[in-house]
């Protein structure tokens, strides 16, 4: 199992110092990647979770210059709230400058109010189609293609795109979501499925939908990942799914993920303070990982 670290980049206690510390902690402890979270301008009902949040792509660029080994992922970019070509340029630039460490996490979003707040209210109803086209557009541009691209939302015939990503145009695309349309998108387009707040038992039934869509598209089954909260040595209830309890309890959950084919977990610890985050991540590596 590979482990990533969700950056403490959201919440009222999110700070530059916490983000810096998380990058150092991840590299020191052998995490494979670090992950930003994305929202831009939520309404008041979501303020507690996303009112203060460091912008996802900019934070990846910042950490590209402060880390050397960890991959840099977004969990996940709400693609339809943004310009697809600008995103293609931003992600390719960061990947090139970081020598091939970017993971492009993709989602369609859920907040109609936020789409309206950023000036793309009409796109909410077609956000799935926009995301599908964005993935195709990215791969077109990142491949170094020089022939036209004609889509529903984007059309260009005469263009030059560079720099290309560091890995021959192959920035991995991880797609999130839980609705059937999202799962079929994963099978058709994704390199990896990146679920969130999902237990192993809830995760497993989604695999048949993903596999059927991949087979229909004549693509290999995507790899599997999950973003999960960790509450080690705590039985305190939290909203939604979390791996909680003793080290053996948490290890058992990880083994359950592995049993259904999940090979990567992006871990969200509760602490944002650098010292407390280090203690929680160190305890996980020391007490849980050897039991898996």
Sorting pLDDT into bands at 50, 70 and 90, what band is 94? very high
Which range has the worst mean pLDDT, 36-40, 113-117, 156-160, 236-240? Answer: 236-240
pLDDT, residue 169, reads 67
pTM above threshold 0.85: yes
The DSSP output letter for 53 is B
Q: Assign domain 2-291 to a CATH class.
A: alpha beta
- CA-angle at 95, arms to 33 and 254, nearest 5°: 20
Region 201-206 average pLDDT: 98
3-state secondary structure of 71: strand
Percentage with pLDDT > 90 across the chain: 95
Instruction: Report how far residue 190's alpha carbon sits from residue 223's, in angstroms, rounded to the nearest whole number.
Output: 9
Q: What is the pLDDT of residue 125?
A: 98
* Distance of alpha carbon 165 from alpha carbon 20, whole angstroms: 25
Residue 171 pLDDT class (50, 70, 90 cuts): very high
Cα atoms in the Cβ-side hemisphere of radius 13 Å centred on 231: 13
In the predicted structure, residue 92 carries a pLDDT above the cut 90: yes
- Checking if the pLDDT of 237 tops 80, the result is no
What ranges in 98-227 are assigned the alpha helix state H?
A: 112-117, 127-142, 180-189, 200-203, 206-216
Calpha distance 69→50 (Å, rounded)? 28
């Amino acid at each position: 199992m590979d482990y990533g670290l969700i950056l403490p980049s959201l919440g009222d206690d999110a700070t530059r110092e916490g983000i810096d510390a998380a990058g150092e902690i991840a590299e020191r402890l052998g995490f494979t990647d670090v992950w930003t979270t994305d929202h831009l301008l939520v309404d008041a009902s979501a303020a507690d979770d996303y009112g203060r949040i460091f912008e996802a792509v900019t934070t990846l660029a910042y950490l590209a210059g402060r880390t050397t080994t960890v991959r840099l992922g977004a969990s996940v970019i709400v693609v339809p709230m943004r310009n697809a070509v600008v995103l293609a340029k931003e992600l390719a630039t960061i990947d090139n400058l970081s020598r091939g460490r970017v993971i492009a996490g993709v989602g369609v979003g859920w907040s109609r109010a936020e789409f309206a707040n950023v000036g793309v209210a009409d796109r909410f109803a077609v956000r799935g189609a926009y995301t599908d086209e964005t993935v195709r557009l990215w791969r077109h541009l990142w491949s170094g293609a020089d022939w036209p691209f004609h889509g529903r939302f984007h059309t260009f015939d005469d263009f030059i795109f560079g720099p290309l990503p560091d890995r021959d145009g192959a920035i991995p695309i991880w797609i999130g979501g839980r609705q059937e349309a999202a799962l079929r998108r994963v099978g058709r387009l994704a390199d990896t499925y990146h679920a969130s707040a999902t237990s192993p038992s809830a995760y497993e039934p989604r695999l048949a939908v993903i596999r059927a869509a991949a087979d229909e598209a004549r693509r290999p089954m995507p790899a599997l990942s999950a973003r999960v909260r960790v509450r080690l040595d705590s039985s305190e209830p939290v909203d939604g799914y979390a791996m909680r309890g003793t080290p053996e309890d948490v290890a058992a959950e990880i083994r359950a993920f592995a049993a259904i084919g999940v090979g990567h977990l992006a871990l969200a610890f509760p602490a944002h303070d650098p010292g407390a985050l280090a203690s929680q991540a160190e305890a996980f590596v020391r007490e849980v990982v050897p039991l898996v």
